[in-house]
Amino acid sequence: MKRVTREAYEERMLRVLVHIQGNLDEELALEELARVAFFSPYHFHRVFRGMVGESVKEHIRRLRLQRAAQRLKQTRLAVVRIALDAGYETHESFTRAFKTMFGEAPSRFRASRRPFPPLKIRSSFRKGKKMEVQIKAIRPKRVAFVRHGGPYSECGKAWDRLLAFVGMQGLLGADTEFIGVCYDDPEVTPRDKVRYDACVTVSEDFRPQGDVGVQLLDGGEYAVTMHQGPYDKLGETYVRLCGRWAPTSGREIRSAPSLEFYWNDPHGTEPGDLLTEIYLPIERK
């Protein structure tokens, strides 16, 4: 695998930004944007946020509002028409968003002598502090799992069902690994559509039963970093890993879900002391 430079990451991200600016009236689905620059669709949003400093949604909203400000000054289009073109369904919601960004209502902005802002994409990308990351190669892991659909904050229900079952079967031992498979980014996936598998490693003779299934987790190389703290802060570590570390690592992110290895029991551990190893799938060199 050819080494991927930071310059290559930046060139690809710039291609995405140019595409967004040239297609502000389109839907701009994340899968399409990831395809434009050959980023993994699993991890594109976190790469974008880490490099650009704002989410895809925030970026598009900002450019549409800046374009709306230009149109207020340069055209005689009705405010409601400009609001609809900017993606707002009502005049009121557009006015609130516009006032938040520019400090005054659209009609006052149009009447003032205040110059309109340039519609400019970001030409430089954020660089973060060095984070401790190891490259680990793991073998495929056979696991029993329970699928959870919905917010990650509610995945404890899946863990309760899984652990009750494997515990009664006497399958929990000192070498059992507790793993979460994270298929979706909760910042961009609707809450009720988020998918997550609560998993524990099992032997070859384990057989599925009821809602407890069995699967083989991908082996291969992963970039691994330790997150210490509450689970609801995991997203911040993902953003740093995908959007800050990856562009300087020389490695390409693989199109596969990330894994989380849990090292202590959330029921008996203070949130600030929880330890979670994040495994980001990467291509082999």
Q: Mind listing the domains of the chain with CATH numbers?
A: 6-111 (1.10.10.60), 134-281 (3.20.80.10)
Round to whole Å and give the CA distance between 117 and 135: 44
pLDDT of res. 37: 86
Burial 99-133 (b: 16+ CB within 10 A, else e): eeebeeebeebbeeeeebeeeeeeeebeeeeeeeb
**pLDDT attached to residue 214:** 97
**Cα distance between residue 152 and residue 184, in whole Å:** 10
**How is residue 213 written in tokens?**
């299934």
The mean pLDDT values, 10 residues at a time, for the chain of 285 residues are 80 93 91 91 92 92 92 92 92 94 92 76 68 95 97 94 94 94 89 95 94 95 97 94 92 94 94 96 89
CA–CA separation, 265 vs 268, rounded Å? 6
For 139, the 3-state DSSP assignment is coil
The whole-angstrom distance between residue 213's C-alpha and the CA centroid of its chain comes to 26
Would you state the pLDDT for residue 92? 93
Residue 41 phi/psi, 5-degree rounding, is -65, -25
3-state secondary structure of 161: helix
What are the residue ranges of helices labelled H in 139-215?
Answer: 156-168
Strand-pair category, 258-262 with 178-182: antiparallel
Strand, coil or helix: 104: coil
| Burial track 6-37 (b if 16+ CB lie within 10 A, e otherwise) | eeebeebbbebbebbeeebeeebebeebbebb
Q: What is the pLDDT, as a whole number, of residue 41?
A: 87
pTM of structure: 0.86
Q: How far apart are CA 144 and CA 203, in angstroms?
A: 9
